[in-house]
Structure 1
Amino acid sequence: MNALQLLFNAITVIFIAATMFAAGLGTTLPALRAVFTDLPLLLLTVLANLVVVPLLGWGIAALFGLPAAGFIALVLVASSPGGPFGAKLSMVQKGDVAAGTAMQVLLAAVASLTFGPMSSGILITAEVGAGISLDVAALVQTMAILQLAPFAIGLMVRHYARHSALSWHPAAATVSNVTFMMVLTGMLLGSWRDVVTLLGSRTLLAGFVLSVVAFAVGTLLATGSRTRRTTMGGIAAVRNVGPPLAAIGIAFGAEQAVLGALAAVLVSGLAAALPIAAVLGHNRHDSTA
């Protein structure tokens, strides 16, 4: 493994851990309790993100006839809810930020355990590649260490040392944002030939369609006001890049074609979700002006 690959892996680990630590610092136990106790919202959101969207990712990949790398990337992304940018979309659309952030954290925590079985089951059933499957036990262990542990630490700091948590949160969020851009840039640069070959391809279109459909599903399968429901739509549209990156490293040896397809799917997904959130935020600003 060369020095650049080691550096990329280190930055990826920092990104995942910093994102979950920042999420823990920014989450209160009452906010999590409010999500847990709203059973209709909880059950519908879990159904949308952990079952419906992964199955839609499989269906879209099959419908578009994606090649193996694109198929794998789309299924991994679809099976991984709880992306930190979901909370940012809540802010962009002037939505229910508290509920959105709490649900994003909850989904990321739960998906750290469900991602492996769901994505592995889909890939095995779809018979993509030459017997490709994920080491579920290794993936669950990796996600527990990289996601659940930092989140739990941040949550405890917020609960027992609130002032420290509030002072640390901006720095942790900055590290998360910067390392996310570094990871995305690294994927694009390291796999630029694969990304270029995907320009105008069905893989980019499939990522765009998945994000739009996930936004719609997340909105429809939610309860409460329109503001809260579209907030849940934004949470569903932005998936968590951490588990797919870990899966590619564990199961596919950081194969460049899969990394390139993953970068393409992520970029096209953000290109779909951000304008939707911006339009919603603009309309809400106009209605309150």
Structure 2
Amino acid sequence: MSPLPATPDTPPVSAPESAAEERSARLAVTLFPLLILAGGAVAVLTPGTFTGMGPWINPLLGIIMFGMGLTLTAPDFALIAKRPVPVVIGVVAQFMIMPILGWLIAAALGLPPALAAGVILVGCCPGGTASNVVAYLAKGDVALSVAMTSVSTLLAPLLTPVLALWLAGQYMPVDAGSMAFSIVQIVLLPVLLGLAVRRFLPSLVARCLPVLPWLSVGAITLVVVAVVSGSAGIIFSAGLLVLVAVILHNGLGYALGYGAARLFRLPTASRRTTAIEVGMQNSGLAAGLARQYLTPEAALPGAIFSIWHNVSGAVLAAYWRRRDARSATATPASPASSQHI
């Protein structure tokens, strides 16, 4: 299996096949939110130190998406032709469930317009490939996870601006055309460039792969620092409300994603993967777009989501693994041995 791709939500991690690789994947999922949480805390305490970082957000996101392209291979896309149904179910659920959930949560909590638009924009973005590592740890279908993330990422230049205009546009103006062009620049072109470099310079890319996790971690930490430093004031006044919105958005995304897969009778591994793909978002992209096209405050939900969904994903994966372990020790006749979520 090819390495798991890198996005603003996780460093690239090769599909783990040994105990050492599994420990590495767990470390990535655990350490990454701690690093960006530390960066965010520093930005809150000394916001003036980082006020000049705003223009660097989009280039940093482009670098990370280039890293994603470097880690993708032809088999990742071949799965789409071999097993189109679960891929389509996951991608449709991604772009239906999360945007509408964001809109409903913003309305239910009575969020201010900028924060409401930011929550909705997180829901309109494609899946983040932290989901690929979490799908592995949860004993999900990793190949399906990579395929879903790749397809949703490639569809983002079209669907993200349209959905944002429809839902977030109720709270503040959204320039969908300019946003689409930015997503092409930030996401699509870097991914395609990475794919081309991997295709024509595979030996060079193989030597660079070990460095990509640290590049991605550093880049997304800087993105979060830039976003938080521009929103330090609102963090103290509405930070708890935003956290509640993020937790609801992420958790309900898991539940409804799993339910959608179960409705179509996908196997357990695919249900887990779909839940993770729907619940985990490319929130770094959301933060960057919000800061550029909405307001600095609107970028705050994306920054907080970047931290939270890594934590919740690791917890969900641990729960499923423990459940499987209990099922494995049950007798064959026990219901627990044949039924689990």
Superposed pair shares fold, TM > 0.5: yes
Identify if the C-alpha distance between structure 1 residues 261 and 235 changes in structure 2 by more than 3 Å, giving closer, same or farther.
Answer: closer
Report the Cα distance in structure 1 between the residues aligned to 2:213 and 2:160, rounded to whole angstroms: 24
Partner of 1:237: 279
Aligned residue runs from structure 1 range 237-256, under 5 A: 237-252=279-294, 255-256=295-296
Give a deviation string over 1:216-235, Cα, whole Å, max 9, x none: 22223336431222122112
Partner of 1:263: 303
Deviation at 1:158, TM superposition (A): 2.8
CA contact (8 A) 1:210 1:269 kept: no
From 56, 63, 67, the counterpart of 1:18: 63
Aligned residue runs from structure 1 range 18-167, under 5 A: 18-124=63-169, 127-128=170-171, 132-167=172-207
Identify if the C-alpha distance between structure 1 residues 7 and 100 changes in structure 2 by more than 3 Å, giving closer, same or farther.
Answer: same
Identify if the C-alpha distance between structure 1 residues 282 and 14 changes in structure 2 by more than 3 Å, giving closer, same or farther.
Answer: farther
Q: Does 1:174 align with 2:214?
A: yes
CA contact (8 A) 1:73 1:258 kept: yes
Report the RMSD for the aligned CA atoms in angstroms.
2.5
> What is the identity, as a one-letter code, of the residue corresponding to 1:214?
G
CA contact (8 A) 2:128 2:149 kept: yes
Report the Cα distance in structure 2 between the residues aligned to 1:234 and 1:28, rounded to whole angstroms: 22
CA contact (8 A) 1:25 1:158 kept: yes
CA contact (8 A) 2:125 2:281 kept: yes
> What is the identity, as a one-letter code, of the residue corresponding to 2:292?
I
Deviation at 1:122, TM superposition (A): 0.8
Q: Which has the larger radius of gyration?
A: 2
> What is the identity, as a one-letter code, of the residue corresponding to 1:107?
S
From 241, 247, 251, the counterpart of 1:212: 251
Partner of 1:276: 316
Identify if the C-alpha distance between structure 1 residues 70 and 166 changes in structure 2 by more than 3 Å, giving closer, same or farther.
Answer: same
Identify if the C-alpha distance between structure 1 residues 232 and 170 changes in structure 2 by more than 3 Å, giving closer, same or farther.
Answer: farther
Partner of 2:336: none
SS of match in other structure, 1:221: helix
Identify if the C-alpha distance between structure 1 residues 175 and 8 changes in structure 2 by more than 3 Å, giving closer, same or farther.
Answer: farther
> What is the identity, as a one-letter code, of the residue corresponding to 2:258?
T
Report the Cα distance in structure 1 between the residues aligned to 2:223 and 2:328, rounded to whole angstroms: 38
Give a deviation string over 1:55-111, Cα, whole Å, max 9, x none: 121112112222212211110001112213222322332432222122212211211
CA contact (8 A) 2:66 2:193 kept: yes
Report the Cα distance in structure 1 between the residues aligned to 2:155 and 2:252, rounded to whole angstroms: 22
Query: Sequence identity of aligned pairs in percent?
Result: 21
Q: Does 1:7 align with 2:53?
A: yes
Report the Cα distance in structure 2 between the residues aligned to 1:147 and 1:198, rounded to whole angstroms: 30
Partner of 1:226: 268
CA contact (8 A) 2:135 2:273 kept: yes
Gaps of 5+ in 1: none
> What is the identity, as a one-letter code, of the residue corresponding to 1:73?
G
SS of match in other structure, 1:81: coil
Identify if the C-alpha distance between structure 1 residues 271 and 66 changes in structure 2 by more than 3 Å, giving closer, same or farther.
Answer: farther
Deviation at 1:6, TM superposition (A): 4.2
> What is the identity, as a one-letter code, of the residue corresponding to 1:216?
A
Give a deviation string over 1:122-173, Cα, whole Å, max 9, x none: 123xx32xxx222111111111111111111222233333333322223233
Partner of 2:31: none
Structure-2-length-normalised TM-score: 0.73
> What is the identity, as a one-letter code, of the residue corresponding to 1:39?
P
Report the Cα distance in structure 2 between the residues aligned to 1:205 and 1:173, rounded to whole angstroms: 29
Identify if the C-alpha distance between structure 1 residues 234 and 275 changes in structure 2 by more than 3 Å, giving closer, same or farther.
Answer: same
SS of match in other structure, 2:240: coil
CA contact (8 A) 1:211 1:270 kept: no
Query: When the two structures are aligned, how many residues end up with a matched partner?
Result: 279
